[in-house]
Amino acid sequence: MQVRGCFGYRILLGLLRQKTKKQKMKDEFLMAAIAEAKKGLEEGGIPIGSVLVKEGKIIGRGHNQRVQKDDPMTHAETDCLRNAGRIGSYKETTLYSTLMPCYMCAGTVVQFGIKKVIVGESKTFPGAPEFMRSHGVEVVDLSDPECVEMMEKFIRDKPELWNEDIGVD
Protein backbone atom coordinates (compact mmCIF):
# COMPACT_ATOMS: atom_id res chain seq x y z
CA MET A 1 0.00 0.00 0.00
CA GLN A 2 2.79 2.34 0.89
CA VAL A 3 4.53 1.78 -2.46
CA ARG A 4 1.35 2.43 -4.39
CA GLY A 5 0.75 5.61 -2.42
CA CYS A 6 4.22 6.84 -3.25
CA PHE A 7 3.71 6.01 -6.92
CA GLY A 8 0.44 7.91 -6.97
CA TYR A 9 2.16 10.86 -5.38
CA ARG A 10 4.82 10.82 -8.09
CA ILE A 11 2.21 10.76 -10.84
CA LEU A 12 0.47 13.69 -9.20
CA LEU A 13 3.75 15.61 -8.98
CA GLY A 14 4.46 14.84 -12.64
CA LEU A 15 1.03 16.07 -13.68
CA LEU A 16 1.44 19.24 -11.65
CA ARG A 17 4.82 19.89 -13.26
CA GLN A 18 3.39 19.34 -16.71
CA LYS A 19 0.59 21.76 -16.01
CA THR A 20 2.99 24.44 -14.79
CA LYS A 21 5.13 23.97 -17.90
CA LYS A 22 2.08 24.30 -20.13
CA GLN A 23 0.93 27.48 -18.41
CA LYS A 24 4.35 29.05 -18.91
CA MET A 25 4.41 28.22 -22.61
CA LYS A 26 2.93 31.03 -24.63
CA ASP A 27 0.41 30.35 -27.37
CA GLU A 28 2.45 29.95 -30.60
CA PHE A 29 -0.11 31.89 -32.61
CA LEU A 30 -0.08 34.77 -30.16
CA MET A 31 3.71 34.73 -30.47
CA ALA A 32 3.35 35.03 -34.25
CA ALA A 33 0.99 37.98 -33.79
CA ILE A 34 3.51 39.61 -31.42
CA ALA A 35 6.24 39.11 -34.06
CA GLU A 36 4.01 40.99 -36.53
CA ALA A 37 3.46 43.77 -34.00
CA LYS A 38 7.23 44.12 -33.53
CA LYS A 39 7.70 44.28 -37.30
CA GLY A 40 5.27 47.20 -37.33
CA LEU A 41 7.15 48.95 -34.56
CA GLU A 42 10.46 48.54 -36.42
CA GLU A 43 8.86 50.19 -39.45
CA GLY A 44 7.94 53.19 -37.29
CA GLY A 45 4.34 52.10 -36.98
CA ILE A 46 1.90 51.11 -34.25
CA PRO A 47 2.79 47.74 -32.65
CA ILE A 48 -0.35 45.72 -33.21
CA GLY A 49 -0.13 42.36 -34.98
CA SER A 50 -2.57 39.72 -36.08
CA VAL A 51 -2.66 36.21 -37.56
CA LEU A 52 -5.49 34.15 -39.01
CA VAL A 53 -5.44 30.46 -38.13
CA LYS A 54 -7.24 27.60 -39.86
CA GLU A 55 -6.87 23.92 -38.93
CA GLY A 56 -3.86 24.65 -36.76
CA LYS A 57 -2.02 26.61 -39.44
CA ILE A 58 -1.40 30.31 -39.97
CA ILE A 59 -3.00 31.33 -43.26
CA GLY A 60 -2.53 35.09 -42.95
CA ARG A 61 -0.40 37.60 -41.05
CA GLY A 62 -0.52 41.35 -40.77
CA HIS A 63 0.16 44.42 -38.71
CA ASN A 64 -1.20 47.93 -38.29
CA GLN A 65 0.04 50.18 -41.10
CA ARG A 66 -1.64 53.51 -40.41
CA VAL A 67 1.74 55.25 -40.40
CA GLN A 68 3.58 53.16 -43.00
CA LYS A 69 0.86 53.40 -45.64
CA ASP A 70 -0.69 56.66 -44.45
CA ASP A 71 -3.88 54.62 -44.23
CA PRO A 72 -6.22 54.79 -41.24
CA MET A 73 -8.10 51.68 -42.40
CA THR A 74 -5.18 49.27 -42.32
CA HIS A 75 -5.40 47.86 -38.83
CA ALA A 76 -3.56 44.66 -37.93
CA GLU A 77 -6.70 42.57 -38.40
CA THR A 78 -7.66 44.03 -41.78
CA ASP A 79 -4.06 43.76 -43.01
CA CYS A 80 -4.01 40.11 -41.89
CA LEU A 81 -7.31 39.29 -43.61
CA ARG A 82 -6.19 41.07 -46.77
CA ASN A 83 -2.94 39.09 -46.80
CA ALA A 84 -4.83 35.82 -46.30
CA GLY A 85 -6.63 36.54 -49.57
CA ARG A 86 -9.92 34.99 -50.63
CA ILE A 87 -10.20 31.90 -48.49
CA GLY A 88 -13.88 31.11 -48.89
CA SER A 89 -15.60 30.32 -45.59
CA TYR A 90 -14.22 31.79 -42.35
CA LYS A 91 -16.25 29.41 -40.17
CA GLU A 92 -13.25 27.29 -39.17
CA THR A 93 -10.89 30.20 -38.63
CA THR A 94 -9.61 31.85 -35.47
CA LEU A 95 -8.34 35.41 -35.56
CA TYR A 96 -5.50 36.29 -33.21
CA SER A 97 -4.61 39.85 -32.37
CA THR A 98 -2.16 41.32 -29.87
CA LEU A 99 -4.88 43.84 -28.90
CA MET A 100 -8.66 43.65 -28.59
CA PRO A 101 -10.18 44.51 -32.02
CA CYS A 102 -11.77 47.93 -32.44
CA TYR A 103 -15.35 48.37 -33.71
CA MET A 104 -14.20 48.44 -37.34
CA CYS A 105 -12.31 45.15 -37.03
CA ALA A 106 -14.99 43.60 -34.81
CA GLY A 107 -17.46 44.50 -37.57
CA THR A 108 -15.25 42.71 -40.08
CA VAL A 109 -15.10 39.63 -37.83
CA VAL A 110 -18.90 39.52 -37.60
CA GLN A 111 -19.37 40.28 -41.31
CA PHE A 112 -16.98 37.51 -42.41
CA GLY A 113 -18.38 34.97 -39.94
CA ILE A 114 -15.18 34.38 -37.96
CA LYS A 115 -16.28 32.41 -34.91
CA LYS A 116 -13.37 32.83 -32.54
CA VAL A 117 -11.09 35.73 -31.65
CA ILE A 118 -8.13 35.37 -29.29
CA VAL A 119 -6.42 38.52 -28.10
CA GLY A 120 -3.22 39.32 -26.23
CA GLU A 121 -4.82 41.99 -24.07
CA SER A 122 -7.56 44.57 -23.66
CA LYS A 123 -6.03 46.55 -20.80
CA THR A 124 -4.62 49.38 -22.92
CA PHE A 125 -7.65 49.51 -25.24
CA PRO A 126 -11.07 47.98 -24.45
CA GLY A 127 -12.07 47.43 -28.10
CA ALA A 128 -15.40 45.85 -28.93
CA PRO A 129 -15.61 42.40 -27.28
CA GLU A 130 -19.28 42.76 -26.31
CA PHE A 131 -20.23 43.63 -29.87
CA MET A 132 -18.55 40.43 -31.12
CA ARG A 133 -20.00 38.30 -28.30
CA SER A 134 -23.49 39.64 -28.99
CA HIS A 135 -23.06 38.21 -32.51
CA GLY A 136 -22.04 34.78 -31.26
CA VAL A 137 -18.27 35.21 -31.56
CA GLU A 138 -16.19 33.54 -28.85
CA VAL A 139 -13.73 36.13 -27.53
CA VAL A 140 -10.77 35.02 -25.42
CA ASP A 141 -8.51 37.54 -23.69
CA LEU A 142 -5.15 36.01 -22.72
CA SER A 143 -4.10 39.07 -20.64
CA ASP A 144 -0.55 38.61 -21.87
CA PRO A 145 1.97 40.79 -19.98
CA GLU A 146 4.25 41.15 -23.02
CA CYS A 147 1.39 42.54 -25.12
CA VAL A 148 0.39 44.96 -22.35
CA GLU A 149 3.99 46.14 -21.91
CA MET A 150 4.47 46.59 -25.67
CA MET A 151 1.41 48.86 -25.95
CA GLU A 152 2.07 50.75 -22.71
CA LYS A 153 5.58 51.57 -23.88
CA PHE A 154 4.32 52.67 -27.30
CA ILE A 155 1.60 54.89 -25.76
CA ARG A 156 4.24 56.45 -23.46
CA ASP A 157 6.65 57.05 -26.35
CA LYS A 158 4.17 58.25 -28.99
CA PRO A 159 0.92 59.38 -27.37
CA GLU A 160 -0.06 61.54 -30.36
CA LEU A 161 0.13 58.59 -32.76
CA TRP A 162 -1.90 56.41 -30.44
CA ASN A 163 -4.61 59.02 -29.86
CA GLU A 164 -4.88 59.48 -33.62
CA ASP A 165 -5.29 55.74 -34.08
CA ILE A 166 -8.11 55.37 -31.59
CA GLY A 167 -9.81 58.57 -32.74
CA VAL A 168 -9.24 60.65 -29.61
CA ASP A 169 -8.61 64.40 -30.11
Enumerate binding residues for Zn ion (CB under 5 A). Answer: 75, 102, 104-105
Question: Phi and psi for 121 in degrees, rounded to 5?
Answer: -165, 165
Residue 20 CB, nearest approach to Zn ion (Å): 35
At 47, which amino acid appears? P
In terms of residues, how long is the chain? 169
Question: How far does CA 110 lie from the centroid of its chain?
Answer: 16
Which residue number, 13 or 168, has a Cβ lying nearer to Zn ion? Answer: 168
What is the Cα Rg of the chain in Å? 19
Question: Phi and psi for 136 in degrees, rounded to 5?
Answer: 80, 10
Residue 164 CB, nearest approach to Zn ion (Å): 13
Which residue number, 9 or 103, has a Cβ lying nearer to Zn ion? Answer: 103
Out of 77, 92, 130, 146, pick the active-site residue. 77
Which residue number, 3 or 168, has a Cβ lying nearer to Zn ion? Answer: 168
Q: Would the CA dihedral through 103, 108, 111, 114 be positive or negative?
A: negative
Q: How far is residue 129 from each of residues 53, 65, 66, 116, measured CA to CA in Å?
A: 19, 22, 22, 11
Residue 63 CB, nearest approach to Zn ion (Å): 12
Which residue number, 14 or 72, has a Cβ lying nearer to Zn ion? Answer: 72
Active site residue 42: no
Residue 106 CB, nearest approach to Zn ion (Å): 8
- The catalytic residue positions are 77
